[in-house]
Structure 1
Amino acid sequence: MAVTIFGDKSLDLSRPQIMGILNVTPDSFFDGGSFSNLDDALFQTQKMLSEGASIIDVGGESTRPGASAVSLEEEMNRVIPVVAAIKSRFDVVVSLDTSSAQIMTEGAKQGAGLINDVRALTRDGALDAAIATGLPVCLMHMQGNPESMQANPNYSAVYNEVLSFLLERAKACQALGMKSEQILLDPGIGFGKTLEHNLELLNNLDQILSHGFEVLIGASRKSMIGQVLNAEVQDRVFGTLGAHAAAFAKGASIFRVHDVKPHYDMLELMYRIKREK
């Protein structure tokens, strides 16, 4: 049993865990504006928990392709009250979807159990802040920044470059005392990648796992699914399930999703088949 401590809770990562997406932003690509109100955010949290989520990922900065930057004050005002409210009402791991050191510090004080950073702790102060919280981190790869990352993604060897970056960031965390079991890696599907890049990364997730880190994957309703299936964002749930089923088969353990119930059903059945009990 691969148990990881997430603040005041622990999760067994030898079985699939579902991270429900809670965007408290007005401009996220799928659910922008839907949960900006605290009551709506809490209702959605309760719904996702009832459907099988074990982690709620709270984000106050849209990182969709073309998204504009948000001020620290605005991100703080969006995220921290929601984190505090969730932890006061629900027994769940709350993840901070942030790159900002101050959000990491304050979110940890409010009971967050995971730092999920699309910039892999490269912003000023982020690495030190994350280490100081003592929380696990998810390090993601992104080429460029949200404003321009999909303009012309280019790699000489996408898998090698993504893996090299992630391992370098993991090493930076370990050099400051973080244990390997506290580090999750995310190849960053759709973050500065073409369709072909995304497919190659998904097909080689097992090689990332071979380096001793758990893998988080988030392909939920992304454009790669639309490209393969010629489907608009509202029609991508089945394609998302296919991508995440493939990722589970390759060894991924945490799945960041918009649609919790279908993922719980799919992953629970796949897990039970794998264990034959």
Structure 2
Amino acid sequence: MGVVNVTPDSFSDGGQWFDTDVAIAHARHLLAQGADIVDIGGESTRPGAAPVTPDEERVRVLPVVRALVADGAVVSVDTVNATTARAAAEAGAHIVNDVSGGLADPEMAPTLARTGLVYVIQHWRGSPETMDSLATYDDVVGEVCAELEQRVAGARRAGVRPEQIVVDPGLGFAKKAPHNWLLLAHLDALAELGHPVLVGASRKRFLSAVVPPALADQPLARDNATSAISALSAAAGAWAVRVHEVAASVDAVRVAAAWQGHR
């Protein structure tokens, strides 16, 4: 899953793809590199990010969605807003990636039930403004799984079918570095929830610990570490990895598949 941030304030690229035509071109580049899905987002969810109105979000993402759907691409829309999800479905999107897991907008699950799109339910505590203060766990793997199970149950009560659901542990969302590593090391526990698992580690702050110290504050310097996580996640059975730099992760996933295929 290749990431396209149609935002002026993304942590990973600093607004490089904010222009509509540039965003479309970048998404096509990611697809040419081997992305199976492109994930289009119009609101930054980095810690401390200010919210964007749903109207502004739709202005940013819908032209990109329409262009890529016309190309025949599989398109995901990264949104916490049900009105944007509904508009994306009408524009031909295939997936809604909701980092709030339905907590930001109670209409999200009913909207996904009606549209039938794939629904990525991510673990989340608090908004981008508050989530860092909520990164407190006694057993992060058990608590994240339990909270995701609650969110899945809520979606099911709203009419979302089991086969629509993908779960995401929400790396970096109300998680400190040790929490992220523990969740990655226990993807099997997430898989036991009975749904495909999406891993979104790309360029996140916790990877700064495994890059040269002089580069630790540079998100792009974390791409090699991201690719390593892609290989390990694929070997652990993840459904997809969500990444900013696609080519190396495509190779990493293929290596993992070849490795597993010869065990």
Shorter-chain TM-score bucket reads over 0.9
Deviation at 1:84, TM superposition (A): 1.1
1:120 aligns to what SS in structure 2?
coil
Q: Deviations over 1:55-105 (max 9, x none)?
A: 0100001000110111111111111111112112x2111101001010011
Q: Tell me what 1:5 maps to.
A: none
Correspondent of 2:165 among 183, 189, 198: 183
Correspondent of 1:259 among 233, 245, 258: 245
Q: Tell me what 2:221 maps to.
A: 235
Higher relative contact order (CA 8 A, sep 6+): 1
* Amino acid in the other structure paired with 1:158: V
Q: Tell me what 2:81 maps to.
A: 100
Q: Tell me what 1:112 maps to.
A: 93
Correspondent of 1:39 among 4, 10, 21: 21
**In the aligned structure 2, how far is the partner of 1:24 from the partner of 1:207?**
33
Say if 2:79 and 2:96, in contact at 8 Å, map to a contact too: yes
Answering whether residue 148 of structure 2 is matched by residue 162 of structure 1, we say no
Q: Tell me what 1:9 maps to.
A: none
* Amino acid in the other structure paired with 1:177: G
For structure 2, which runs of at least 5 residues remain unmatched after alignment?
none
Please say which of residues 103-112 and 208-217 is displaced more in the overlay.
208-217
* Amino acid in the other structure paired with 1:235: A
Deviation at 1:109, TM superposition (A): 0.4
Deviation at 1:23, TM superposition (A): 0.4
Q: Tell me what 1:153 maps to.
A: 135
Please say which of residues 122-131 and 191-200 is displaced more in the overlay.
122-131
**In the aligned structure 2, how far is the partner of 1:152 from the partner of 1:124?**
21
Q: Tell me what 2:54 maps to.
A: 72
Q: Tell me what 1:129 maps to.
A: 111
1:137 aligns to what SS in structure 2?
strand
Correspondent of 1:214 among 189, 196, 220: 196
More strand by share: 1
* Amino acid in the other structure paired with 2:63: P
2:56 aligns to what SS in structure 1?
helix
Say if 1:97 and 1:117, in contact at 8 Å, map to a contact too: yes
1:236 aligns to what SS in structure 2?
helix
Answering whether residue 246 of structure 2 is matched by residue 246 of structure 1, we say no
TM, length-normalised to structure 2: 0.94
**% same residue:** 39
**In the aligned structure 1, how far is the partner of 2:14 from the partner of 2:57?**
14
2:45 aligns to what SS in structure 1?
coil
* Amino acid in the other structure paired with 1:114: I
**In the aligned structure 2, how far is the partner of 1:121 from the partner of 1:145?**
12
Q: Deviations over 1:123-179 (max 9, x none)?
A: 131111121111110000122211121245211221111101111111222233333
TM, length-normalised to structure 1: 0.89
More helix by share: 2
Say if 1:24 and 1:32, in contact at 8 Å, map to a contact too: no
Q: Tell me what 2:43 maps to.
A: 61
After superposition, residues 75-90 of structure 1 pair within 5 angstroms as: 75-88=57-70, 90=71
* Amino acid in the other structure paired with 2:253: L
